[in-house]
Amino acid sequence: MTKVIGLTGGIGSGKTTVAKLFMSEGIPVYIADDQAKKIMEFPETVRKVASVFGEEVLKNDRINTKALSSVVFNNPDKLKALNAIVHPLVRQHFDQWVAENKSFPFVIKEAAILFESGSYKFCNKIITVTASEQTRIRRVIERDHVTEQEVLDRIKNQWPDSEKIAKSDYVINNENLEETKIQFQEILKKLKNLH
């Protein structure tokens, strides 16, 4: 049976870099954030979101992500309500994807909020990617053209690395790409020997 390996890490840690290393080895990788964005465009999702949050979060019969973000950003109850709509749909989509890739001994599920969403419970092993807070802030400012405070606000909404590491099987410290590749190869060997 295909094993599911969870891949996570805080914003700016370099999860995507590690996901690309798996892809370069021919291993299927499910990028949960990208798939969630696609699922947000499904008519059934639009209907459910509008019924909970009202028509004001729609624009041209599609979800206006900026409007929806401003509603849920500092409101844990509304965020919980949104997650209650989106997470089951992503889960269903993921299960279907795993079935389509059942010829592989293992697949990767890359998710920023693997722990926060509870989906880590469905993984056989978990890899957490870490980097120092300074490195993460610099990367996100360069990538997203945001302020340091905006990055810190996003970091605050995620579990601290120490909690993620405590629940992980493997950790990749991603400060330097060459060292990251070495750590990745060591973990890959272990994953290939999973039974």
The answer on whether 70 is annotated among ligand-binding residues is: no
The answer on whether 17 is annotated among ligand-binding residues is: yes
The answer on whether 6 is annotated among ligand-binding residues is: no
E strand intervals along 37-192: 58-59, 62-63, 106-110, 125-130, 170-173
Query: Which residues does 71 contact at the CB level (< 8 Å), separation at least 6?
Result: 53, 57, 78
Q: Is 54 helix (H, G, I), strand (E, B) or coil?
A: coil
How far is the CA of 108 from the CAs of 104, 124, 164, in angstroms?
A: 11, 10, 17
How far is the CA of 18 from the CAs of 8, 29, 52, 191, in angstroms?
A: 10, 10, 36, 14
User: What are 4's two structure tokens?
Assistant: 């599911």
Provide the β-strand partners of residue 29: 108
The answer on whether 54 is annotated among ligand-binding residues is: no
The answer on whether 12 is annotated among ligand-binding residues is: yes
The answer on whether 118 is annotated among ligand-binding residues is: no
| Binding site feature residues for ATP | 12-17
| Binding-site residue ranges | 12-17
